[in-house]
């Protein structure tokens, strides 16, 4: 692979083309297996929204790089994450995607019972628990952080710095003087969730999200609201730059009308603007004045990815019973248009025409950074 200049900002168009990853990176199950262990198990992974696990005993079960991880709220209100594997003979503790238990997690096989803090509390018919070290045979814990109202887990023994790799990614995108705290994302509530089953490799979805070269072609509603996107310029990747709403637009909605009042922390400078952020490897955020769109990707196979998308609003907007449909519809259409494009590419990734990959035009050059990030992670 040739060396590639790494850009922290949108480069000036030079007319030069740089190569993408080869087609096999999007189709080869062996590459996907390597990505599971070297990317999804090693980096911080947004597993759920904290509110998905609302009360003591609630749990959510998420596949993280091929490992089933249980996120559980304890009796003390804290969230913890564990490998979803019984320490006795390895049965899955929970097979449901989500649910709640009263005060413990009991294995359905021989009924070993674990507290919500992961400690082994009972193992039946042993006479006494003296033979079993309750601490040693507790559930295996997984690192967990909460930020932006999301639950982030990491399976690495020593996770990379959360501050640098997750929070730092946002700082770079927004610039130092525009903090994401303005949007108060941890206090927003889910107004709508749509889950997409996309028949495409997760990297096609990231790469698509990172560029706006396609906006003029496939996003008619979005370019009406954000006219600069009609130029096919990935304007959101200028550091600190938010794309401006069209003059006649009153809200980030499917027809540019309506919308809700700006979130409390969004000042005049950030009002009427749209910011898009990618946090490697599986989160996309869109920030607009009155809501936030939070995408979490769950890669399930080399050619299939589940995308869970939350539209987040101020509590009072959701409580008021306001009609969210025009607001949700805009990015729902954008998502469908984007995922259709990814599904159009996926079958061609195995063509001999794409054996050596394709090329990135100047307005897509920052995808080269992602490509280099993936390449370095796999080599490590
Ligand atoms: Fe869980 Fe035996 S495998 S109790
Ligand atoms: Fe798009």
**Phi/psi at 128 (nearest 5 deg)?**
-145, 170
R_g (Cα) of the chain, nearest Å = 22
Q: What is the position in ligand 1's atom list of the atom closest to the CA of 90?
A: 3
Computed over every residue of the chain, the mean pLDDT equals 91
Q: How far is the CA of 208 from the centre of ligand 2 (A)?
A: 6
Q: What is the position in ligand 1's atom list of the atom closest to the CA of 112?
A: 4
Cβ 150 vs Cβ 234: under 8 Å: no
pTM score over 0.90 = yes
Strands 150-154 and 98-100: unpaired
Homologous superfamily assigned to 177-379:
Naphthalene 1,2-dioxygenase Alpha Subunit; Chain A, domain 1 (3.90.380.10)
Query: Where exactly are the structural domains of the chain?
Result: 45-154, 177-379
**Residue range 43-94, pLDDT digits in tens:** 999 999 999 999 999 999 999 999 999 999 999 999 999 999 999 999 999 9
Q: Which ligand is nearest to the CA of 84?
A: 1
CA angle 72, 78, 84 (to 5 degrees): 20
Mutate to test the pocket of ligand 1, among 107, 113, 134 (most ligand atoms within 8 A of CB): 107
Hey, how many other C-beta atoms are within 10 angstroms of the C-beta on 117?
17
At the topology level of CATH, where does 45-154 sit?
Rieske Iron-sulfur Protein (2.102.10)
Q: How far is the CA of 335 from the centre of ligand 2 (A)?
A: 7
Residue minimizing CA distance to atom 4 of ligand 1: 110
Q: Residue 288 contacts by C-beta under 8 Å, 6 or more apart in sequence?
A: 252, 273, 274, 275
Domains 45-154 and 177-379 alike in fold = no
Q: How far is the CA of 49 from the centre of ligand 1 (A)?
A: 29
Q: Residue 128 contacts by C-beta under 8 Å, 6 or more apart in sequence?
A: none
* Residue of 259, 262, 260, 289 lying closest to 274 (CA atoms): 289
d(C-alpha 204, C-alpha 358), whole Å:
12
Q: Which ligand is nearest to the CA of 112?
A: 1
Please, where are the H alpha helices in 57-154?
A: none
Strands 45-49 and 18-19: unpaired
Q: What is the mean pLDDT of residues 133-147?
A: 93
* Two structure tokens written together for 81: 């994450």
Hey, how many other C-beta atoms are within 10 angstroms of the C-beta on 19?
15
- Is the ipTM beyond the 0.90 threshold? yes
Is the distance from the beta carbon of residue 132 to the nearest atom of ligand 1 less than 6 Å?
A: no
**Residue range 24-56, pLDDT digits in tens:** 999 999 999 999 999 999 999 999 999 999 999
Please, where are the H alpha helices in the chain?
A: 29-35, 162, 168-174, 202-210, 215-218, 220-225, 315-319, 325-345, 367-379
């Amino acid at each position: 692979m040739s060396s590639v200049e790494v850009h922290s900002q949108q480069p000036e168009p030079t007319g030069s083309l740089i190569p993408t990853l080869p087609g096999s990176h999007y189709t080869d199950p062996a590459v996907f297996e390597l990505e599971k262990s070297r990317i999804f198990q090693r980096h911080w992974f947004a597993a759920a929204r904290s509110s998905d696990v609302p009360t003591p005993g609630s749990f959510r079960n998420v596949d993280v790089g091929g490992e089933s991880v249980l996120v559980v709220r304890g009796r003390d209100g804290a969230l913890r994450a564990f490998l979803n594997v019984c320490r006795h003979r390895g049965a899955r503790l929970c097979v449901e995607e989500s649910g709640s238990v009263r005060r413990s997690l009991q294995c359905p096989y021989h009924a070993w019972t674990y507290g919500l803090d992961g400690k082994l509390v009972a193992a039946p018919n042993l006479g006494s628990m003296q033979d079993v070290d309750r601490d040693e045979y507790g559930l295996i814990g997984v690192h967990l952080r909460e930020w932006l109202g999301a639950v982030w887990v990491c399976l690495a023994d020593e996770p990379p710095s959360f501050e640098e790799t997750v929070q730092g990614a946002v700082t770079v995108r927004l610039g130092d003087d525009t903090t994401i705290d303005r949007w108060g994302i941890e206090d927003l509530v889910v107004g709508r969730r749509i889950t997409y089953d996309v028949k495409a490799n997760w990297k096609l979805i990231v790469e698509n999200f990172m560029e706006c070269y396609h906006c003029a072609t496939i996003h008619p509603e979005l370019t009406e609201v954000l006219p600069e996107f009609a130029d096919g310029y990935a304007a959101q990747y200028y550091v600190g730059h938010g794309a401006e709403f069209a003059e006649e637009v009153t809200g980030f909605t499917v027809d540019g009308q309506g919308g809700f009042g700006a979130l409390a922390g969004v000042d005049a400078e950030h009002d009427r603007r749209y910011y898009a952020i990618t946090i490697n490897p599986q989160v996309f955020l869109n920030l607009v004045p009155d809501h936030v769109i939070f995408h979490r990707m769950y890669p399930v196979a080399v050619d299939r990815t589940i995308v869970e998308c939350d539209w987040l609003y101020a509590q009072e907007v959701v409580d008021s019973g306001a009609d969210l449909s025009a607001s949700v519809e805009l990015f729902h259409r954008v998502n469908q248009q984007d995922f259709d494009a990814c599904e159009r590419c996926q079958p061609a990734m195995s063509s001999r025409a794409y054996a050596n990959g394709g090329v990135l035009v100047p307005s897509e050059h920052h995808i080269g950074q992602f490509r280099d990030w993936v390449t370095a992670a796999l080599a490590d």
